[in-house]
Amino acid sequence: MPDAVVIPILRTFPGPEALRFYVDFLGFRVDWEHTFEPGLPIYRQVSRAGAVLHLSEHHGDATPGSAVRIEVDDLIALQRELEVSPVYPLRIGIDHQPWGDDLDVPDPFGNRLVFHAPGAVVQ
């Protein structure tokens, strides 16, 4: 499969919290969204700096409690950006692992986004 693209689907719940978390807090943008009619579940695509996620309110599309690893260029800058955000009071530290550094960010739906920088991050 040359040039295969993988886009994870994360389960979210109806209401404004998905946009508050993914757009207002994490800085993703909404690329598009779909619903069969008003009042039915929304399926949307969000992206940020090359990372693309599908967020689904549809029961059965995905399971809350999933984890996604997203490689980033500057983990320290991302941590600082989230640390000063007034949207969520999360104070998340960087975990240093033998395979690189991780910034584990839980969403309001039980999913985890693990922002990852391969190798060691010098502080």
User: Could you count the other beta carbons within 10 Å of the beta carbon of residue 72?
Assistant: 19
The full set of domain ranges for the chain reads 9-118
Q: Do 82 and 105 form a contact (C-beta atoms < 8 A)?
A: yes
Residue 54 · residue 43 · CB < 8 Å: yes
For residue 121, is pLDDT > 60? Answer: no
Query: 67 has which bridge partners?
Result: 112
Q: Which fold has domain 9-118?
A: 2,3-Dihydroxybiphenyl 1,2-Dioxygenase; domain 1 (3.10.180)
* Nearest alpha-carbon partner for 80 in 62, 69, 94: 94
Share of the chain above pLDDT 70, in %: 96
Per residue in 95-105, pLDDT (tens digit) is: 998 889 999 99
pLDDT reported for residue 74: 94
Eight-state DSSP code of residue 18: H
pLDDT in tens, 7-59: 999 999 999 999 999 999 999 999 999 999 999 999 999 999 999 999 999 99
Residue found by looking up tokens 């690189």 in the block:
100
Can you give the pLDDT at residue 120?
57
